[in-house]
């Protein structure tokens, strides 16, 4: 008992001493005035925000959400709005075979782009800043797709795309051979490409397709589908596009690795007009050969690029509807995209980003970065020269 008394007295004493110490530290801090910012010139004596700080850009982590902080414009309704390249969201996800949620893809890609902005768009890999080329790039908002009626939603997407495609260019003098605005669509599940191809067909006729994906997306039908509308899915839209004469027979897939019904799926795929580069080909052929094969297949024809985020390994892009193990890395894909610059691109998309399955925005950030690559690719006449490695010499260490 005596020992207990001694112990508690000691504890009381030590907490008293600690309290006194803390109080004196606090009192000393209050002896000094609060820290004052020091300014470079007298002009910062004003008391209003604008007088003192003037116009400031939003921080990367603040402000309304638009792609790379571009002006968010409702281009479909503002009929006078002109642009050369439009970012357009298509939040449609009601034709998927597995995990839904890609309706939040445009939101996730815009959110993943928050550290990107017009004043900081230069990349060493492209040796280019797409925002410094004198062309007008706008975030044109989202198509207000109906979430209950797929036929209606698909018509809305086609009409929206056609509407923007028919706008005159904002800076035709910069456009070289491009006559119509180019649209980068943010999906949405992959079905959005059917209305896009329908709209493109009215302007360009049949186009070739470069298709990055883990899956073929050329099924003729989905098992159990007994109505015409049930044929229209994110796994069948290319077959429907081919039947409608929207795509030429010089298209190509890259990154394919999904399980198939058998060899007959590959035969059918060929009949839809696609050559195939598999996921494994990145090891067996290498990136330069993959680029060469794609360029040889496409030639000078008008080409549409469709990028399903599931071409990436699920470890690097987990937030997608139908993930497949063993995919490409983001870096590999970016290098292939650089090799495609100079082809006759009429449009591009990035689809199947489904952020409910994301971790730390990994997928949204990767997708936003790929959209930045699309912009550089659209605005480059040829692939960038490989940058010489910057070797750090011993005497520089």
Q: Contact positions toward Mn ion, by CB under 5 A?
A: 190, 213, 217, 308
Q: Which is nearer to Mn ion, 133 or 213 (CB)?
A: 213
Q: Which is nearer to Mn ion, 75 or 95 (CB)?
A: 95
Q: Which is nearer to Mn ion, 114 or 211 (CB)?
A: 211
Distances (CA, A) of 326 to 259, 342, 395: 12, 30, 42
Instruction: Give the 3-state secondary structure of residue 45.
Output: helix
DSSP 207: B
Q: Which is nearer to Mn ion, 178 or 192 (CB)?
A: 192
**Smallest distance from Mn ion to CB 211, Å:** 8
Cβ atoms of 302 and 189 within 8 Å: the answer is no
Q: Which is nearer to Mn ion, 241 or 341 (CB)?
A: 241
**Smallest distance from Mn ion to CB 216, Å:** 8
**Which H or E run includes 139?**
strand 137-142
Q: Which is nearer to Mn ion, 66 or 320 (CB)?
A: 320
**Smallest distance from Mn ion to CB 309, Å:** 9
**Smallest distance from Mn ion to CB 325, Å:** 16
Cβ atoms of 276 and 209 within 8 Å: the answer is no
DSSP 322: S
**Smallest distance from Mn ion to CB 306, Å:** 8
Q: Which is nearer to Mn ion, 213 or 332 (CB)?
A: 213
Q: Which is nearer to Mn ion, 238 or 378 (CB)?
A: 238
Q: Which is nearer to Mn ion, 104 or 238 (CB)?
A: 238
Q: What is the DSSP string of 146-159?
A: -SS-HHHHHHHHHH
- Distance in angstroms (rounded) separating the CA atoms of residues 227 and 236: 14
- Distance in angstroms (rounded) separating the CA atoms of residues 184 and 167: 15
**Smallest distance from Mn ion to CB 52, Å:** 52
- Distance in angstroms (rounded) separating the CA atoms of residues 327 and 304: 22
**Smallest distance from Mn ion to CB 356, Å:** 18
What are the backbone dihedrals phi and psi of residue 267, each rounded to the nearest 5 degrees, phi first?
-60, -45
- Distance in angstroms (rounded) separating the CA atoms of residues 161 and 157: 6
DSSP 215: S
Q: Starting at the edge strand that comes first in sequence, how are the strands of the sheet with 345-351 ordered?
A: 137-142, 85-90, 182-187, 345-351, 303-308, 208-212, 251-256, 274-278
**Smallest distance from Mn ion to CB 396, Å:** 47
- Distance in angstroms (rounded) separating the CA atoms of residues 164 and 199: 10
**Smallest distance from Mn ion to CB 212, Å:** 9
């Amino acid at each position: 008992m005596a020992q207990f008394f001694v112990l508690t007295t000691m504890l009381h004493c030590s907490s008293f001493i600690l309290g006194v110490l803390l109080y004196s530290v606090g009192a000393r801090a209050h002896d000094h005035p609060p820290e004052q910012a020091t300014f470079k010139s007298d002009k910062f004596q004003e008391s209003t925000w604008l007088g003192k700080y003037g116009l400031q850009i939003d921080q990367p982590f603040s402000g309304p959400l638009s792609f790379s902080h571009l002006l968010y414009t409702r281009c479909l309704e503002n009929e006078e709005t002109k642009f050369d390249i439009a970012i357009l969201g298509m939040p449609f996800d009601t034709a998927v075979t597995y995990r839904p949620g890609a309706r939040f893809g445009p939101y996730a890609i815009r959110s993943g782009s928050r550290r990107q902005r017009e004043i900081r768009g230069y990349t060493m890999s492209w040796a280019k800043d797409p925002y410094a080329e004198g062309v007008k790039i706008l975030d044109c908002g989202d198509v207000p797709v109906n979430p209950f009626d797929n036929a209606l939603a698909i018509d809305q997407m086609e009409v929206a795309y056609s509407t923007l495609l028919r706008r005159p260019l904002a800076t035709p003098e910069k456009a070289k051979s491009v006559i119509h605005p180019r649209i980068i669509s943010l999906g949405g599940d992959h079905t959005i490409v059917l209305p896009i191809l329908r709209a493109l067909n009215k302007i360009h006729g049949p186009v070739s397709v470069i298709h990055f994906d883990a899956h073929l997306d050329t099924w003729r039908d989905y098992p159990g589908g007994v109505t015409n509308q049930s044929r229209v899915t994110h796994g069948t839209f290319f077959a429907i596009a081919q039947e409608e004469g929207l795509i030429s027979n010089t298209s190509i897939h890259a990154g394919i690795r999904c399980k198939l019904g058998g060899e007959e799926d590959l035969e059918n795929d060929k009949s839809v007009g696609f050559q195939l580069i598999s996921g494994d080909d990145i090891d067996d052929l290498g990136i330069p050969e993959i680029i060469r094969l794609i360029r040889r297949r496409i030639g000078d024809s008008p080409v549409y690029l469709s990028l399903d985020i599931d071409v990436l390994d699920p470890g690097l892009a987990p937030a997608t509807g139908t993930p497949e193990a063993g995919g490409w890395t983001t870096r590999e894909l970016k290098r292939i995209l650089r090799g495609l610059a100079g082809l006759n691109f009429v449009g591009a998309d990035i689809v199947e980003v489904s952020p409910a399955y994301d971790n730390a925005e990994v997928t949204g950030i990767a997708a936003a970065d790929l959209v930045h690559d699309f912009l550089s690719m659209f605005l480059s006449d040829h692939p960038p020269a490989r940058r010489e490695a910057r070797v750090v010499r011993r005497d520089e260490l």
